[in-house]
Structure 1
């Protein structure tokens, strides 16, 4: 993955002291704080890995950037523009620069529409003719290494890995500068994961798009990221160069995440599992 400058005007995304809270359905119940003042930044053409276990708040950060959950505090800037509390019309304009690939590609694809219809929609809305839209869809499918006849098929006719490629193609359609990748390979087998991760890397090299790559797996974020931020209970507990954080983590929570990552070799997996149990049996003084 490419590494870009990370200061001043070279920052594509800057999140400052972000707080998010959810209000329980019960009346008079106190709001539950999910994020406790998270700050991070992302340069043009860079990949920032955001890693943490389920419930850590990592997906909430992505959803707040996308405007899907409201921020209770802090600021989110995209290319220097404050996008924290945009209205719906303003948010639609930002979507050309900011796209998302979710974990479950099937749920984000209309099962009754062909892939061509789904991928053509943003082009047709912008005034592109049907013939030109179909050509551009063909180009997108080629970009994600799917045959052109895929546009005439329904989502159910594809494997999980192929559906994720379609979701990536849809995210690429408006030529965004940033794609939020929310657990995009966690539902795939290890071999398919590697192929999709290689596709992400290839697309970034060719287009210069930046990724905020959200995952619970340190091995995955090591593979794709320039830098890594580790989230625990709504707080960043460790951050830095991807190689350092994912190979030689300093924080006990990051160490636990590393030992929890699956390995294809059963003997190595057994050693890692034993080390994980040993670490968890030790001191818990680090817990927030």
Structure 2
């Protein structure tokens, strides 16, 4: 069996306490996570569970207090600025909010060309690559001469996907990439992510609070609660045969379109979790 593309072992992250001399607050307590090349690992949990912190630790945006993060066999949890710059070619991110993740004063062409020019492509080569990226995410070529405010939320997230793909990464951290979008646009963006994966072989860490969304795109799902992974398995195992009460809580609390099914789900939630701690 081949080694995972990315391995997280015993990961601990602590944040400073509030107030003078307050002790540090540990938000991740020995997390293990493994992402296979070309596959999607869904990470789901409620607000404050630590799911976004895992993604930020992988990206080097928060310091690691303990444990290890290994990418392609190389430790990266203590990577310095130079190694991080090199890693940016292999590991990219799609942020939650398409309205704030793009520079409003830069044209889409300049936004997408920026990482390409940093890799020493010529202006002509970068412009050709930008046109191809826009085509990959089903946006017209003339989008490169327009500003972010001229696009809808779904279109902006397509642009964010194109930017993440610009230099051919092997792993993309998707941090709640569809939570700011309506349901119809969500499905379109999720389908696009899956199509991109089929054509490029990129792996995803897909972070979300929505177990239904995670199931739609993931091969493997891990459920995190209060900084600890409480359940992991295939998407089918976790969403159809959950073993942990917290996973069942997430499933029963997720809304469904059918009103009758929603009433059944609400009643099941009340029977199982009424009066219990979140």
In the alignment, the residues of structure 2 paired with residue 200 and residue 190 of structure 1 have an alpha-carbon distance, to the nearest angstrom, of 15
Cα distance, 1:276 vs structure 2: 2.1
1:272 deviates by: 1.9
What is the CA–CA distance in structure 1 between the aligned matches of 2:148 and 2:263, rounded to whole Å?
Answer: 38
Give unmatched runs, 5+ long, in structure 1. 1-6
Equivalence for 1:125: 118
Instruction: Tell whether the 8 Å contact from 1:13 to 1:77 is kept in structure 2 after alignment.
Output: yes
Q: Cα distance, 1:25 vs. partner? A: 4.3
Which of 197, 203, 213 lines up with 1:204 in the alignment?
A: 197
Tell me if 1:42 matches 2:35. yes
Q: Distance in 1 between matches of 2:143 and 2:260?
A: 41
Q: For 2:48, which of 41, 50, 55 is the aligned residue?
A: 55
Which residue of the partner structure matches residue 241 of structure 1?
234
Local SS of the residue matching 2:82: helix
CA shift, 1:152, in A, is: 0.9
- 1:96 is aligned to 2:55: no
**Conserved in 2, the CA contact under 8 Å of 1:10 and 1:44?**
no
Structure 1 residues 110 and 283: alpha-carbon distance in aligned structure 2, compared to 1, 3 A threshold: closer
The offset of 1:229, in angstroms, is: 0.5
Residue 76 (str. 1) matches residue 69 (str. 2): yes
What's the TM-score, normalizing by structure 2?
0.97
Q: How far apart, CA to CA, are the structure 2 residues paired with 1:207 and 1:31? A: 41
Which ranges of structure 2 fall in alignment gaps of 5 or more residues?
none
Matched, 1:186 2:179: yes
Indicate the residue corresponding to 1:3 in structure 2: none
- CA distance in 2 between counterparts of 1:183 and 1:165 reads 14
**Mapping for residues 223-234 of structure 1, pairs under 5 Å:** 223-234=216-227
CA contact (8 A) 1:76 1:82 kept: yes
CA distance in structure 2 between the partners assigned to 1:266 and 1:283 by the alignment: 25
Cα separation, 2, equivalents of 1:261 and 1:142: 34
Alignment partner of 1:10: what SS? Answer: coil
Distance (whole Å) between structure 2 residues aligned to residue 276 and residue 166 of structure 1: 39
Q: Distance in 2 between matches of 1:65 and 1:135?
A: 31
Match of residue 143 from structure 1: 136
**What SS does the aligned partner of 2:35 have?**
strand
SS, match of residue 120 in structure 2: coil
Residue by residue over 1:87-121, the C-alpha shift from the partner in whole angstroms, topping out at 9 and shown as x without a partner, is 11110100100000010022110001110010011
Q: 1:214 aligns with which of 204, 207, 210?
A: 207
Backbone CA RMSD of aligned residues? 1.3
- Match of 1:27, SS state, is coil
Per-residue CA deviations over 1:230-259 (Å, capped at 9, x if unaligned) read: 000001111111111012211110000011
Structure 2 Cα separation of the partners of residues 269 and 146 of structure 1: 36
Q: Residue 264 of structure 2 is aligned with which of 245, 267, 271?
A: 271
Scaled by the length of structure 1, the TM-score of the pair is 0.93
